[in-house]
Amino acid sequence: MFSKNIVLVGFMGSGKTTISRQIAQHLGCPVCSLDDMIEQEEGASISRIFTEKGEAYFRQVEYRVAQKAAKEKGVVIDCGGGIVLNPDNITVLKKNGIVFFLDADERSVFERVKDQTHRPLLNVPDPLARIKELIGVRRPLYQRAADHIILTSGDQWKTACDQILKLAGVA
Ligand code: S3P
């Protein structure tokens, strides 16, 4: 068994949720989804939190749940795509966690999210342009946060779980 957490960061649609479940199933450990924790704490969906209280409020709740999740041991932490916007989130998650940046290109992200409606930041007339803009800003932040970078464009995501288990020393 491992005592460190496996922390997945990356843009929306980079495969965090699918891959965190695969890892957890393999290790028989829990997944800690920060988005789920936020929704539970607020008793509202992420879309509703954004609409009714705004993004700044959402980021405060995200900070609080990141502090809470970082106290866990031996879990997989599935972070929302904006976790890197506050460097304090990464500092605390790294205390007992290995951070993996799931790096998917803009086109792959677009293909995966284009028919979904639950991500308020992408509910815009030109989601591909928004994806490009946000990834442009965030990629350096993900890179800085990462202990390891795992490529998840196209079909690459299929080998991500194995790579992460090996790099975390738990394969
Ligand atoms: C966000 C990503 C979402 C969610 C919220 C904001 C972001 O999580 O936290 O909609 O800023 O990139 P996923 O990356 O799991 O979709």
* Ligand 1 geometric centre to CA of 82 (Å): 6
> From the alpha carbon of 120, which atom of ligand 1 is closest?
10
Judge if pTM exceeds 0.95: yes
Q: What is the pLDDT of residue 61?
A: 98
Nearest CA to ligand 1 atom 3: 80
Q: What is the pLDDT of residue 48?
A: 97
* Ligand 1 geometric centre to CA of 116 (Å): 12
Q: What is the pLDDT of residue 1?
A: 53
Mean pLDDT per 10-residue interval, the chain, length 171 residues: 89 98 97 98 97 98 98 97 98 98 98 94 96 98 98 97 96 81
Q: What is the pLDDT of residue 171?
A: 81
Reference 91, options 65, 60, 66, 74; nearest CA is: 66
* Ligand 1 geometric centre to CA of 80 (Å): 4
